Structure 1
Amino acid sequence: MSKNPHPQVLFLDFDGVLHPDAVFHTSKGLQLRSEGQLFMWAPLLVQALADQPQVSIVLSTSWVRQFGYHRARKYLPEAIQHRVIGATWHSTMARNWADQSWWDGASRYEQISRHAARARLSDWLAIDDDTASWPVDAGHHLLPCDGRLGLSQPGCIDSLRAWLGGQ
């Protein structure tokens, strides 16, 4: 049973969170140029969310822009695909030049906070390795990951569980 029954939203990056930030799109497909495999740390997220039905996921990864929302979502383990309710990037942005140009110059924080404001989210957390422009006063909305270690970084899953439990 969940300790924190109100809705919560995780903004989820893939590269540097679910696997090392060393993924390249080549003629042979996606390649991880690091030890391990793509989505190698996704089971840690699946396990952390197992008894947290109030948690939804919004994709904040460049994979949505590159592959599309539905294809990007399908890269996640089936156990959490149903939790994905949206993405910070959507296909209409590609048709609307103003949105696309804004997006191209926006920091990850700006992309996520814009989505959170538009959706009127109150309880959200971004799991990301892109922390460069994250304001100090919004730090409580960020679970930073080392891009080489992602969710396997010591203390990262413990911090996520603390947020999930409302501690």
Structure 2
Amino acid sequence: MQRNTHILFLDFDGVLHPDAVYLSRQGPTLKAEGTLFMWAPILANLLDDFPMISLVLSTSWVRHLGYKRTLAYLPLELRERVIGATWHSSMAKGWVDENQWDGKSRYDQICRYAARSQLRHWIALDDDVKGWAEGLAQHLIACEPDLGLSSAQTQAKLQNSLREICSRPV
């Protein structure tokens, strides 16, 4: 990955659909009104103006389903932007075991990825706001778990943050 890439760390649950997804034998199941990834077209439309933005999956789906299976759930226009995920079996190295990775906050997982990749221009779209350092809060676009990207306020914040990171010199 290039050092100067503009990255959006993307969670699924509470962002692209309500945070009411459970794993069953049939796969992920939404236990709320709507459908899985019902707000994904909103993200795809917002990203149309920012072709330099790449996606890194920061969802727990990768840990439970694997990268390729998780990627297949995304609509094509988002899938084509994905360059990796915060979780990979090799990412657990340096911590005693993979379970310790699961114990880390989403913030810790994202920061570790950003540091290892020497990212300068990144934001995270997530409903998990635990552990975010005040000094890095500008990197987080927090979603309401039941509203995700259906919230006009969240959409506006995301658009402003994307505009800001894309206007910075590489």
Q: Same fold (TM over 0.5)?
A: yes
Indicate the percent of aligned positions where both proteins have the same amino acid: 52
CA 1:99–1:9: 2 relative to 1, 3 Å = farther
* RMSD over equivalenced CA pairs, Å: 1.9
Candidates 108, 111, 115, aligned match of 1:110:
108
CA 1:121–1:91: 2 relative to 1, 3 Å = same
Q: Deviations over 1:38-60 (max 9, x none)?
A: 00000000000113110000000
What secondary structure sits across from 1:155 in the alignment? helix
Which runs of 5 or more residues in structure 2 are unaligned? none
Question: Contact 2:89 / 2:98 at 8 angstroms: preserved in 1?
Answer: no
Q: Which residue of 2 aligns with 1:3?
A: none
One-letter code of the match for 2:106? R
Aligned pairs, number? 162
Question: Contact 2:58 / 2:110 at 8 angstroms: preserved in 1?
Answer: yes
Structure 1 consecutive aligned stretches of length 4 or more whose deviation exceeds 2 Å: 27-30, 91-99
CA 1:137–1:96: 2 relative to 1, 3 Å = closer
What secondary structure sits across from 2:125 in the alignment? strand
One-letter code of the match for 2:124? A
CA 1:77–1:100: 2 relative to 1, 3 Å = same
Q: Deviations over 1:17-75 (max 9, x none)?
A: 00000001123432111111000000000000113110000000000011111111111
Counterpart check, 1:30 vs 2:28: yes
Question: Contact 2:92 / 2:100 at 8 angstroms: preserved in 1?
Answer: no
What secondary structure sits across from 1:98 in the alignment? coil
User: What is the CA distance between 1:96 and its match in structure 2?
Assistant: 8.2
Q: Which residue of 2 aligns with 1:64?
A: 62
TM-score, normalised to structure 1, is: 0.90
